[in-house]
Structure 1
């Protein structure tokens, strides 16, 4: 038996329960991993609430972790006991001291990358990678609007877009977060609590921005569309404030706008895509283009408190959960 966080009913942070679970041994094509560090992502909150339904209850949440391989299934040669591996995405279940994974979803972690950093960067870093490199290819001279610019993904988007030569505009909710956004490469920071972000963006760039990266959802969605220039791209990749209202096609037609909802899982559907994306992220961490801010660490057993703090926007950068018996 190992300890894990379990969800028996959908709801607030209080539904996250610390329980004993039996995970068994790896079958053909599987590995057993003892987790060293577990990344917390807003999709975990969305799954807990039922906004994303990826598994019936009860389930163990979590979609990102770094750990050591402790057992391999029959006939498996690609992985061996002692390997340090990371994974992001499905199967859900990383909020656990140990877990069984398909070997093909695990990627090797370079020795130069700290396990805590790797756990903080897998989902967020690969999300940033597909957003700026493939969903909309950011280039020098582009003007980019990034909501939640001090958050885990937002801070990486700011850094990466800046490194690619874009003018980066970020929105935040506090002056403390504004300082973090500037450190992460924002050329212009808008505190939406103090001013209307649409009007602020128009003052910075009257013609509008080339692309908006919006992880907030309902609260910012219509304003994001209003910030776009003609033929601009609206990329929705999160629903922190809930799903937006439906958008009539006529709202897009006035400026010939493009609207997409991007999901990391659709950009790492093959083993080659997964490895290329992860390697790109690790390379940019190693080169210093991406600076990973692990500003909050919680014991895995206190996942409920971590979720509460994330939802109340008390956190900046990345949040990592640490199993009590992890050896770092």
Structure 2
């Protein structure tokens, strides 16, 4: 039996724990930015941040996506398809963000560096191409950038992630959000939608029947 929600938990939720539990960076009192909060990993991050009482700010690429992220517990949500959204974030959060989860580093990394709080950190979760940055922005805040890859987790870390996810599911009403499911013969369309998915709302799931 294939359960789309269970598969989404397995793939998306551990990314949050990989960065904020195992690395132990984001803590209560911090303000984090999820740059791309409406997709599978981003929406899991928003839900898990709310559970841990971490103030989370999100972005989405459409009006529907903005409303979707608001329902996940975001204090503020910005439409990253709109001109001037970065200036709005700077005005609302002049002290910057302690932690930024970045889904599209090839586009946003240099912008992220200018949004960091002193000694803030950017976690690169997604990237599709080379990017150019002004490293002086890192010097100004003594900020840092690091990559996130679930495959680098040890067996002990994976067990810890699993235990945290089970606790999260028991203590909250948050659940994985499925945007669309695909059969195996729709694989090409699924790949296209992943690459083109600018206004996402949750997970895209490939269904493989026995």
Note whether the superposition's TM-score is higher than 0.5.
yes
The answer (yes or no) to whether the contact 2:5–2:175 under 8 Å persists in 1 is: no
Deviation at 1:295, TM superposition (A): 2.1
For the residues of structure 1 that align with 2:60 and 2:200, how far apart are their CA atoms?
12
Deviation at 1:187, TM superposition (A): 0.8
3-state SS of the aligned residue for 2:106?
A: coil
Matched, 1:298 2:182: yes
CA-based RMSD:
1.9
Q: How does 1:63-212 map to 2 (within 5 A)?
A: 115-212=3-100
Q: List per-residue Cα deviations over 1:195-237 (Å, max 9, x = no partner).
A: 3333121111111111111011121111101011111111112
3-state SS of the aligned residue for 2:176?
A: coil
The answer (yes or no) to whether the contact 1:171–1:197 under 8 Å persists in 2 is: no
3-state SS of the aligned residue for 2:74?
A: coil
Deviation at 1:166, TM superposition (A): 2.1
Q: 1:287: which partner in 2?
A: 171
3-state SS of the aligned residue for 1:301?
A: helix
The answer (yes or no) to whether the contact 1:217–1:236 under 8 Å persists in 2 is: yes
Q: 1:260: which partner in 2?
A: 146
Q: List per-residue Cα deviations over 1:127-184 (Å, max 9, x = no partner).
A: 1111222235322221111011101010111111122222211111100000111011
Q: Per chain length, whose mean CA-contact separation is higher, i.e. which structure has more relative contact order (CA < 8 Å, sep 6+)?
A: 2
3-state SS of the aligned residue for 1:219?
A: helix
Matched, 1:243 2:130: yes
The answer (yes or no) to whether the contact 1:202–1:208 under 8 Å persists in 2 is: yes
What are the ranges of 5 or more consecutive residues in structure 2 without an aligned counterpart? none
Alignment TM-score, normalising by the size of structure 2: 0.91
For the residues of structure 1 that align with 2:83 and 2:30, how far apart are their CA atoms?
24
Structure with higher Rg: it is: 1
Deviation at 1:292, TM superposition (A): 0.7
The answer (yes or no) to whether the contact 1:144–1:211 under 8 Å persists in 2 is: yes
Q: 1:167–1:311: structure 2 CA closer, same or farther, 3 Å change rule?
A: same
Q: List per-residue Cα deviations over 1:299-327 (Å, max 9, x = no partner).
A: 1221111111122115421121112x44x
3-state SS of the aligned residue for 1:230?
A: strand
- Following TM superposition, the consecutive aligned residue runs of length 4 or more in structure 1 with deviations greater than 4 angstroms are none
For the residues of structure 1 that align with 2:88 and 2:107, how far apart are their CA atoms?
16
Deviation at 1:120, TM superposition (A): 1.2
Q: 1:287–1:300: structure 2 CA closer, same or farther, 3 Å change rule?
A: farther
What are the ranges of 5 or more consecutive residues in structure 1 without an aligned counterpart? 1-35, 38-114
Deviation at 1:246, TM superposition (A): 5.5
For the residues of structure 1 that align with 2:84 and 2:22, how far apart are their CA atoms?
30
Higher helix content, 1 or 2: 2
Picking from 315, 319, 326, the partner of 2:204 is 319
Alignment TM-score, normalising by the size of structure 1: 0.60
